[in-house]
Structure 1
Amino acid sequence: MIFSFFLLLKKLISQTPLTTLLQVDATYKLTWNELPLLVFGSLDADRHFHPFAIALVSNDEDSICYKDLFNQLQLISTQENNRPFYINFIMADGAPGIRKAQKDLFPGAKRLMCWAHVIRKCREHRKLVPKDKWNQIDLDIHDLQLSFSDSLFQCGASLLMKKWSSDTLIKHFQEYFYDQWIIKLPLWREKYEGAGINIPSTNNGCESLNGKIKQQYTLRNKLHLSSFLPKIEQMLHDWSTNSLLNDFVTKPSISTTLELISIKWSNSIDKISILHWFDSWYIVPSSNSLIAPAVWLQMYQQQQ
C-alpha cells in the first residue's frame, strides 16, 4: 500500500510562477519507521533555495507516488496562483520512479541530474584505474561536463569513449562509465553545464535544506510520527516566515564589489579578441586559449 501526505502553505506555493525549475530531493532517517521525506522547491537567481512543499511518503521508488505528488503540486499551484506551474526543468537523483513520472506528466521538461552526484560516484570507482592515470580521467569528465549543447556533448562523449578504449589499463572504468552514465543513466547527458541557461548544475540547495531539517528540527533523532508531524508544521511556518523576509529573486543581484571587478576585467582584456556572436552574446577567449574565437565559432556551427 502506497500513501503520501503532501504539506505546504499558501505563501510557499505562491512562488511557483517565478520559476520553471522544480528541484526534488528525499531525506531519510527522520522517523522510526523510515518514512522518506520529499522536499520540493527551486533556486532563485541569487542561488538561494526556496521550498514550495514537502511530502511524507511510504515509498519514494514507485512512479505512482511521484505522479500523485506532481499532480497535487500542479493542482494547488493552479488554484492559488490562477495559473499552472510551468515546469521546463526537473532536477533530482536518478531514481527510476521520478524519471517515469516526469516522462508521463511533463514530457516536454528537461530531466536534470545533480552534477555533484555524477562526479562523486565516478570518483568512488577510481580504484578501477592506476593512480597515475586518474587525474587525467577526472579532467576528461570535467571537460565533458562543460559542454554547452546536446550535439557537442554527444560528440564529446563519443570521442571520450574512443580515447579511453585505446588504453587497456582503464578498460574497466571505461566500461563502468559507459554502462552507468551513458546507457543506464543517460539523463546525465542533460545536465552538462549548458543544458539550461541560468539553471544550477547541482541539487546542493535542496540537499542542504535536508541537512538543516535533521540538524535543527529532529536533532538527528528518529522520531515517532506523532512527534514528527508537529516538527513539519514548525518547518513550514519557519519557511513561510523566511519567505516574507527573503523574496524569490528573478534577476541576479550585482554587488558593488562585482561591478568593480567587472570594470577592472573589461579594462585589462584585449577587446579585439572578443567576438560578438548575436544579441547580447559574446565569445570571450580564456586566458590560455588554443584557438581564436572565430575559429571556435566556426567549429561549433559545423557541429549543429
Structure 2
Amino acid sequence: MAEALSDDDKSDSIDSVVPADKEEATDDDSGEGDIINSAKKIRASDLSYEKVNVFSDGKCAEEEAVNYNNFKWTCCKINDTEQGTKKYYKCNFKRGSNCPAKIYLLFHANNFEVTLFQAIIQHDHITESEQIGIRIELKNVIVKLFQNGYTTPKAILSELDKLKIIQPKASQIASFLATLRKKLYGPAQISLNYIKNWCIGKSIVPTDPDECFVANYYIKDDDDDPLFRLFVTTRNLIKNCLNSNHICADATYKLIWQGYPVLIVGTTDKQCAFHPFGIALCINEKTSDFEFMFKSVQLTVEKLYNISYCPIILVADASGAITNGFINIKKMKAELRRDIEFMQLIKNETIFDAAIKLFQQKWKAKECPLINNFIDYFINEWYMSNKGWFEGFAIGYPSSNNALEATNGTIKSLYTFRERLPVGEFLSVLENDIIHQLSRERNTDDPITSQNVKAFANVPSINLSLWTSTNHWIKEEREKLLYNQQNVKWCDFDIMKNEQLSFWECEFLNESENWTKSTCSCPACLKYYICKHIIGSAARYKLCSIPLEAKNIPLGQKRKRGRVAKAKKALIVQ
C-alpha cells in the first residue's frame, strides 16, 4: 500500500477544522453499484466533506477506500471536474441499508496524488430503506406456483389474481423466474466443458437403484464441428435388458430449446407396456448417434451383470421417410386402407411377398395417376426399404412403437410441461425428475410406490372380458376343415384376402407352464400375444380353468355382445 502523508505533512495539508467541500451531485445518487461518468449538474447536495488522507498511488487509495474505518463502501458514481476525477462511495453495510455516510476519492488533475474526503455526517445502520422488488412472502408463493407448473409471468399473474394477492410487475416476475431457474437448474447457456464436467461427476455407478448416472458419453470439442453424446440410466432401468431380446428406439423433439433430439431406448413386455433402458442426448439424429446409444446399453449391461447383451429385434419408425397422406378419393380411400390393414396382419413373409405383388396389380389396374403415385411410393418405401411393419415379420414382438411414443408424450406433459428447455436446465430435469421417476415406477422394492409399480410382465394378462369371450368361443359350433397351404398360388388380391381372413392358424404348446407362449394368426394374438383361441385350447386340455365370473350369464343362453337393452313397456313383446 502506498504511504500516506506523515503527521508533519498532514499538519500542513489537513487543518484541524477543514473547510466544507460541496459534493457535485448527480441524478443517480440513490443508485446502488452503478458507475456513471456524468457531466457537472447545476444543483449540488447539502453534504459537506472533510479531507482525511492523501495517497501517492491511486490503486492503494482505492484499496483503502473500500474498507475505510472498517466499513464496507461501494462505488456509486464517478464525476469529472476541473480539480480532477471524483470517485464517490456509499456505505453499504448490508443489502437494503439506507446509511447516508459517503466518501470520495479525488484523483488530482495536476499531479499523481489521490485525496480521500469523508462526508460530515454520522452513520445510520438502523433505518431500513424501502424494500425494492418482490416481497419475500410473495416470492415463496411464486416458487410454489412455479413448482406446480405455472412457469410464465402471465400464468403466475393469473393465479395471484385468483388468490387476491397484490401483483408485482410482470418484468419483476420474469426477472425472479430467471434467477429461480438458474438456482434450480443451473445456467441456461452452457459449454461443452460444462457438459463434460457434468458427465464426469455423474459417471460413478451409485448404490441407489433409482439414482441417475451417466453410463457413457462422447464429447468432441471442435470449433468447426462440436459434438456431444451422453447416455443416462439407473440400475433399475438397465435391469430390464435381462427380460427381453428386442429393443424399441425412437427420437423425440420439442424437449430442448436448442432443438437437440432426445433418444429413448427400451423394450416392451407381454402386456404391451414400455420399459425404458435409458435416455440419450445428442446433437443429431444420425446412424452414429443411435449406434452410440445401443453400444452404451451393451457396455452398461456387460459392466453391471457381466453378460453380453445382443438383441435380435429392433422396433423403430421409418426415419426420414416421406409421409404422404392417403389419396383424396373418398370411395377408394377406405378400400385402400383396408387392404393395407390386411397386409399388416399377414402371418409370414412368404404370404406377405405374394400379397404385395397382388396389391400392386390390383391398384395399378385402376389407371389413376394419383393412385399410381401412391402405389409407387408405398412399394419403394414400405416394401423395398422398410419391410418389417407387418405382424408376421417377428411373431411375438411388437410391430409398432406406440408404447414408446406414449412415454414421450408423458415426458413432455409431466416433466417439461411442453416447454423447450435449455440444455443445462434439461440435464437437471433429466437427472432429478425424468430418469429418477421412470426408475422408481419400476422399483418393486420401494414400499411407497409398490402399490402402483410397473413390473415387467413376462406373460400376457387375461382380463374378464377375454375370459368371457373365450367361454363363448368354446361353446360355439363350427365346421372342421382340412386346409393344405402347400403350393398355393393366388391370382387375385381380394380372393387371397378373403381366404386368409376366413380362418386362424394356432400353434399350441401343450405345456402347463408355457401354454401362454403359444401363437395364433388372429389379429388379437398378433398384437397382444394372447387370444381366446389359445385360452380356449388351454381350457380344453385342462391347462387352465375359466373363472366363474366369466360364466355368470342367464341360464339357457349366452350373454350377447354390446349394451344390454332396457326393458320395454308392458304388453310389448321383447
Q: TM-score scaled by structure 1? A: 0.77
Residue 390 of structure 2 is matched in structure 1 by 192
> Equivalents in 2 of 1:282, 1:215: separation in Å?
37
Residue 81 of structure 1 is matched in structure 2 by 305
> Equivalents in 2 of 1:5, 1:264: separation in Å?
53
- Pair 285,200 (structure 1): closer, same or farther in 2 beyond 3 Å: closer
1:35–1:58 contact (8 Å) kept in structure 2: yes
Residue 242 of structure 2 is matched in structure 1 by 17
Q: What aligned pairs does 1:237-248 form with structure 2 within 5 A after superposition?
A: 237-244=436-443, 245-248=453-456
1:149 to 336, 348, 351: 348
- Pair 154,2 (structure 1): closer, same or farther in 2 beyond 3 Å: farther
CA-CA distance at 1:282 after TM superposition: 8.5
The structure having more radius of gyration, on CA atoms, is 2
In structure 2, the gaps of 5 or more residues are 1-225, 444-452, 484-504, 510-517, 524-574
> Equivalents in 1 of 2:519, 2:250: separation in Å?
35
1:267 to 457, 475, 494: 475
Aligned residue type for 1:29: K
Residue 251 of structure 2 is matched in structure 1 by 26
2:331 to 128, 132, 135: 132
1:232 matches 2:457: no
> Equivalents in 2 of 1:210, 1:175: separation in Å?
32
The structure whose RCO (Cα within 8 Å, separation 6+) is larger is 1
Q: What aligned pairs does 1:1-304 form with structure 2 within 5 A after superposition?
A: 1-61=226-286, 63-95=287-319, 121=323, 124-127=325-328, 130-169=329-368, 170-183=371-384, 185=385, 187=386, 189-233=387-431, 234-244=433-443, 245-270=453-478, 272-273=480-481, 279-280=508-509
> Equivalents in 1 of 2:366, 2:348: separation in Å?
28
- Pair 254,279 (structure 1): closer, same or farther in 2 beyond 3 Å: closer
CA-CA distance at 1:274 after TM superposition: 8.8
> Equivalents in 1 of 2:465, 2:520: separation in Å?
24
2:271–2:461 contact (8 Å) kept in structure 1: yes
Aligned residue type for 2:411: I
- Pair 134,59 (structure 1): closer, same or farther in 2 beyond 3 Å: same
- Give aligned pairs, total: 257
CA-CA distance at 1:95 after TM superposition: 2.9
- Pair 46,136 (structure 1): closer, same or farther in 2 beyond 3 Å: same
- SS for the counterpart of 1:272 is coil
> Equivalents in 2 of 1:224, 1:282: separation in Å?
47
CA-CA distance at 1:51 after TM superposition: 0.8
1:20–1:86 contact (8 Å) kept in structure 2: yes
1:214–1:220 contact (8 Å) kept in structure 2: yes
In structure 1, the gaps of 5 or more residues are 97-116, 287-304
> Equivalents in 2 of 1:147, 1:83: separation in Å?
35
Task: Detail structure 1 runs of 4+ shifted over 4 Å in the superposition.
Answer: 273-279, 281-286
CA-CA distance at 1:285 after TM superposition: 9.3
2:326–2:333 contact (8 Å) kept in structure 1: no
Aligned residue type for 2:339: D
CA-CA distance at 1:143 after TM superposition: 1.5
- SS for the counterpart of 2:297 is helix
User: Which stretch of the first structure deviates more once superposed, 244-253 or 261-270?
Assistant: 261-270
